[in-house]
Amino acid sequence: MSNPRLRKQQISLGTLPASLRAPADPGWAEALREKSPDLSAASPMARWQQTLFALAILALALGFWSDADATAMLTMALLTPAFLCVALIRAAALVDSLRTSAPPPTALPANDDDLPVYSILVPLYREAHMAPALIAALDRLDWPAARRDILIITEADDADTREAFRAAIANRPGMRILTVPAGMPRTKPRALMYALPEATGEFVVVYDAEDEPNSDQLQRAYHCFQTGGPRLGCLQAHLNIYNSQTSWITRQFTLEYTALFDAILPTVERLRLPIPLGGTSNHFRRSVLESSGGWDPYNVTEDADLGVRLARQGWRVSMLDSVTWEEAPSTGTAWFGQRARWLKGWMQTSLVHLRHPRKLWRELGPRAFFGFNVLMGGVILSALVHPLVYAYALWKVSAGDLSLWPPQGWPAVVWWAGVANLAFAYIVGIALAALATLRRHNARLASHAFLLPVYWMMISCAAYRALADLALRPYHWRKTTHTARKQKETTRRL
């Protein structure tokens, strides 16, 4: 390995102890916390972070008590540049999308008799009804059965799922069930960390209960690892939605996912910024996954956290030319719980990696350091501040105060700069989602992009729930309920 910084990071985090490879040891789930506590969400906020948040809250409270208008304008002046950076990344993705069209699928070499073992980890909880469809999807993967190591991971108190999958995998080689002992926190990353020592493959991928990956996804991932160079540590497949027509929420979710995985993340990769992984279809070199410390059981978006940690160690994460089709939550309650968990995890990830900002700067470099803060902190702040802009405007109008028009003085300039930035974000976001969805799906679905501002306001509501959950129950995993897969719509695939 030629990268000395990468070698140093591997030595500091260590690799999977041979004694833990089989049988699985629940102590391995605590490996990251014990070896590198500063990289685990289990450790409390840094003292300087606690002090900064306390001072910020106190300053805002005193400011609004003494001069609400001046405080609001000063806050907007400080935050508008951060929000502009978020919009500029979307704008860059839009420009990239307009310049390029989807490339034809990469030609794959013929099957090699010497293909390595590929471990497929599938963590489940209360998913007994998903057994037939999930096993069928895994069966369709184009990889020799003798070299597939499929681990169905169940929780100790979930006998129904265990029995359903035991019946479904009967007489299928390369599939086995693993039961995670009871313990806390009961999260997906804890289950994955418990299962990792049992996996035998040189490569590892994670799938969820409702996933339907393209049949040649493992072949494509292996081909990329073989040709992508020694620093390629992880591949993220494109994720998309097969139940987009179920409800208004699934349509908006599809627009969001299509823009993210088909446009934004490829641009993030081009700009050499850390890629926050999606929760499924992450393909790893086994050695890289172990040396990085694996998944953090205490982070409820273990995927995004791991993507940043890989970048800190010098590993490259790339997008994979393959699609995994998923189910979007179809009700407001299911969507809200899932989104609150995601945003809470992004908050955890931001706090963890910013415990030592100077160290993060050294490991990522200036470009990736600022990119991380825009992708994580900028998105979180945007979600939290978005409704406050409208609340402030309504308050001014209801009070009969129109002093911000015509623009006079610095408060009006700041206000209208913020409004212009918000309008720019709306235009770019709508155009990007519409274009990406038009290419992947159809014009009818793409037309729903005009309702994205409403969807973004819903995300803001979920962000405040996430903030409360972070304070009250940081490791609680809000379970997303899935329904048995139905016949998918006709969609365009990579």
Which tens digits make up the pLDDT trace of 173-209? 899 999 999 988 999 999 999 999 999 999 999 999 9
Kind and range of the H or E element at 317? strand 316-326
Q: Which tens digits make up the pLDDT trace of 234-260?
A: 999 999 999 999 999 999 999 999 999
pLDDT, tens only, 287-308: 999 999 999 999 999 999 999 9
Residue, of 103 and 39, whose pLDDT is higher: 39
Q: What's 362-387 look like in SS3?
A: HHHCHHHHHHHHHHHHHHHHHHHHHH
- Residue 128 belongs to what domain range? 1-494
pLDDT score for 418: 87
Q: Where are the beta strands (DSSP E) in 88-231?
A: 118-123, 148-155, 175-180, 203-206, 212-213
Within 8 A by CB and 6+ apart from 285, the residues are: 202, 203, 225, 232, 233, 234
- 226-238 b/e with 16+ CB inside 10 Å = b? eeeeeebbbbbbb
**Phi, psi torsion values for 295, nearest 5 degrees:** -85, 145
pLDDT for the residue numbered 22: 41
- Confidence band, pLDDT 50/70/90 cuts, at residue 4: very low
Q: One-letter amino acid identity for 401?
A: D
Contact (Cβ atoms closer than 8 angstroms) between residue 234 and residue 282: yes
273 has a pLDDT exceeding 90? yes
Segment 406-414 mean pLDDT: 75
Distances (CA, A) of 190 to 12, 26, 178, 390, 415: 21, 9, 13, 40, 46
Selected residue with higher pLDDT from 120 and 82: 120
- 329-388: pLDDT as tens digits: 999 999 999 999 999 999 999 999 999 999 999 999 999 999 999 999 999 999 999 998
- In this predicted structure, what is the pLDDT of residue 19? 33
- CB neighbour class for 472 (10 Å; exposed up to 12, middle 13-18, buried from 19): exposed
Percentage with pLDDT > 90 across the chain: 71
Determine the Cα angle at 343 with ends 131 and 465, to 5°: 100
pLDDT digits (tens, 9 = 90+) for 40-90: 999 889 999 999 999 999 999 999 899 888 888 888 888 888 899 999 999
Whole-structure pTM value: 0.90
pLDDT of residue 102: 61
Q: What are phi and psi of 475, to 5 degrees?
A: -105, 10
Residue 5 is predicted with a pLDDT of 37
The dihedral over CA atoms of 462, 433, 214, 218, expressed in degrees to the nearest 10, equals -80
CATH number of 178's domain: 3.90.550.10
Q: Which residue has the tokens 């050499």?
A: 272
Give the integer Cα–Cα distance in Å for 178 and 147: 18
Report d(CA 313, CA 292) in Å as an integer: 8
- ∠ CA(193), CA(199), CA(204), 5° rounding? 80
Q: Would the pLDDT of 485 be above 50?
A: yes
Buried b / exposed e along 193-220 (16+ C-beta atoms within 10 A): bbbbbbbbbbbbbbbbbbbbbbebbbbb
pLDDT of residue 393: 83
Q: Cβ neighbours of residue 41 under 8 Å, at least 6 residues apart?
A: 296, 298, 299, 305, 348, 349, 351, 352, 474, 475
Phi, psi of 284 (to 5 degrees): -125, 150
Range of lowest pLDDT (11-25, 78-92, 236-250, 439-453): 11-25
The whole-angstrom separation of Cα 214 and Cα 325 is: 8
Helix ranges (H only) for 18-171 are 31-35, 47-66, 68-99, 131-139, 159-168
For residue 134, CA distances in Å to 150, 188, 487 come to 12, 17, 14
Structure tokens at 177: 């069930």
Q: How many domains does the chain contain in total?
A: 1
Q: Is the dihedral of CA 351, 253, 371, 321 positive or negative?
A: positive
The H-or-E segment that residue 284 falls in is: strand 282-285
Q: Give the per-residue pLDDT at 315.
A: 97
Could you tell me the CA-to-CA distances from 381 to 86, 348, 372, 374, 450 in Å, in that order? 10, 14, 13, 10, 23
Positive or negative, the CA dihedral 432, 436, 438, 441 is: negative
Q: Judging by beta carbons within 10 Å of its beta carbon (0-12, 13-18, 19+), is residue 58 exposed, middle or buried?
A: exposed
